[in-house]
Amino acid sequence: MKALILCAGYGKRMMPITLTTPKPLLPVNGRPLVLNIIDNIAGAGIREITIISNQTHYEDYMRLLEGYPNKGVRVISNGVTRPEDALGAIGDMALAISRIGTDDDLLIIAGDSHLSFGLGGFIRSYEENGLDSVIVQRVDDREYLKRLGVAELDGSGRIVGFEEKPEEPRSNMAAYAAYIFKRETLPLVDKYLERGNQKDALGKIIGWILGHTTVMGYIPEGAFIDIGTPETYSKL
């Protein structure tokens, strides 16, 4: 299994904090957030990790990794230098997959994610069921839930319904930006974009893939926090 960390956004909702520092490089627990993610992925046994960045901050990530002991991490650029030219999270995902290849399963995680649990359990669950998987967790704040992707699960943990930012959520289970896709599923990302679907709402890819294959929801023993706003970041 390989891993991809999505770090190519410009963090517009976090302005002015992200004017000079992208969200994945903001400090959490005394070090840049993305290093915590890399350590978590490497600790789960994945040895090939790719970060996709925009061109604006590409050198920042390269400098960050100069003294990092894990040599299995590389940074690629999407070539974008202005927020208005951004490819969108799913566009970045597709570009990265074209560079990484489709010869292995792929763990994909957003670079602005803070996890209080190890990813090993997620990977083991995937290896046991052999099905595309996404991390989900219960959210009791209904207004906050309306800003997320909401998954409906059956008794086996299979996702049987999904809606991005619903006005009337049909469950209290939110899907977060951490996926494991089988190598056979990876070409579907290009097909999603070829159909003219939305590029920037990351959760949309889950709802679309559900129409083509089975996706499981994995509930971790810990919290998954999406650092999407200054308010969320200030609580860490």
* Pairing mode of beta strands 224-226, 113-115: antiparallel
234 — pLDDT class (breaks 50, 70, 90): confident
Q: Determine contact, residues 113/227, Cβ cutoff 8 Å.
A: yes
Rg (CA), the chain: 17
Name the 3-class secondary structure at 188.
helix
Which of 49, 110, 115 shows the shortest CA–CA distance to 76?
49
- Tell me the mean pLDDT in the region 81-105: 96
Break the chain into its structural domains and give their ranges.
Answer: 2-234
Q: How far is CA 52 from CA 127, 140, 195, 219, in A?
A: 25, 33, 23, 26
State the Cα angle at 52 between 50 and 58, rounded to 5°: 115
- The string of pLDDT tens digits covering residues 147-184 is 899 999 999 999 999 999 999 999 999 999 999 999 99
Looking at residue 209, its pLDDT comes to: 94
> What is d(CA 145, CA 171) in angstroms, rounded to the nearest whole number?
9
| pLDDT, the chain, mean | 92
Plot region of 162 (φ>0 → left; ψ -120 to 50 → alpha; else → beta): beta
Q: Which residues contact 104 (CB under 8 A, 6 or more apart)?
A: 1, 2, 183
10 — pLDDT class (breaks 50, 70, 90): confident
- Residue 228 pLDDT exceeds 80: no
What percent of the chain shows pLDDT beyond 90?
A: 78
Q: Determine contact, residues 149/173, Cβ cutoff 8 Å.
A: no
User: pTM surpassing 0.75?
Assistant: yes
Looking at residue 200, its pLDDT comes to: 86
H helical segments located in 44-169:
58-65, 89-100, 120-129, 142-145
Q: Determine contact, residues 227/23, Cβ cutoff 8 Å.
A: yes
What is the fold of 2-234?
A: Spore Coat Polysaccharide Biosynthesis Protein SpsA; Chain A (3.90.550)
Higher pLDDT, 29 or 41: 41
- The string of pLDDT tens digits covering residues 45-73 is 999 999 999 999 999 999 999 878 777 89
Q: Determine contact, residues 79/98, Cβ cutoff 8 Å.
A: no
